[in-house]
A and B are shown apart, each in its own frame.
Chain A
Amino acid sequence: MRNALKHWLTHPWLVALLRVALGVVFIVAAVDKIASPAGFAQNIANYRLLPYQAIHALAIVLPWLELVAGALLALGWWTRASVVIVNLLLVVFIVAISQAMARGLDISCGCFDTDPAAHKMSRWTLYWDIIWLGWGLWIQAFDRGAWSIERWVRSSRTPRTDTEP
């Protein structure tokens, strides 16, 4: 029973599905931030975590990092590197959200929407990031490259062994 459960939970297709889904989550999260860098900078400032000198630089770079890492993860190219980046970003988000909640900051998360008045942060904001981190660690541990461009390219490069004239 336990083995069967492990077999299904680590099945290459399921892990590949999780990988594509997490990649898409990061792509979707990046879109609004890229569209509105000033709004996203305000979201970061609201966390009251960083010195003001660093806020704009982060607002400019972070959404593109999310987009590129998310796209690579979804496509399955440099999967291990992109899942490591995604997991590290999730750890940073969890720390930022936790400290904001601990300090009683009544702010918007800025996770998917840069409007400061929208989607006030709640415990579920934190829970979702923890779920995604678990999801990312699962991919990191069990992804074997199913449905990935990396595997497709590698297999297309492998020389054929038949000897047809």
Chain B
Amino acid sequence: MKSWTRVCVEAVAVVAASSVLAAVANTVREDGIPWRMPFPPEYQCPSLVAPGTPISVEQALEVFGRDDIAWIDARKPEAFSTGHVPGAMNVPYSFIEPVPDGAITRLRPYETVVVYGNTAGEERSRRLAGELTLAGVEGATYLEGGLLEWIRAGGPFEGEPPGAPDPLLGD
């Protein structure tokens, strides 16, 4: 067998043997973890993400329309373009990418920043509010109940209301 072919075969064997060992060890140990991380990801990024501060739909309705309030739509751009709270800015939350510096700078002067997703169980609004707080946006909050609860309570909305929550993604 040629030298490099042999090295490749051995390397593949090492990777395969390690994977088998890892799988066996993970199966037999009591603190083994599932092969696929459940959604929403159970791991937060402790240095960047903290649980955000909640704001109820009633409190949000009271402050709606004030100049010192910013509304942040944490959903994907497609969802935002279908419909959103009037005057809201779209800052899609990404588990992978930190919030852009430009958005943080723009939001710092606001007294209250209301971050919303679609539903009460929505992780991204809570995480985005937490991340904004840690980045120095002191008034960052997340809307309890999300957009669906907001619309149900008569909150202003432009465009198509969101449909039923996705059971997998929670939005």
Contact = CB atoms under 8 A, between A and B. Distances in A.
A107 B17 CA distance: 31
A104 B101 CA distance: 11
Interface of B is mostly: loop
A11 interface: no
A33 to B, nearest CB: 11
A29 to B, nearest CB: 14
Contacts of A78: 10, 13-14
Interface stretch (A34-42, A123-131, A156-164): A34-42
Contacts, number: 108
B154 interface: no
A24 interface: no
Interface residues of A, number: 40
Contacts of A48: 45, 95-98
A45 interface: yes
Contacts of A132: none
B143 to A, nearest CB: 24
Nearest to B19: A61
A105 B43 CA distance: 16
B101 to A, nearest CB: 9
Contacts of A103: 97-98
Contact of B45 (A46, A61, A81): A46
Interface string A47-66: 01101110111011101110
Contact of A84 (B7, B13, B17, B26): B7
Interface of B: 7-8, 10-11, 13-15, 17-19, 21-23, 25-26, 31-37, 39, 41, 43, 45-48, 95-98
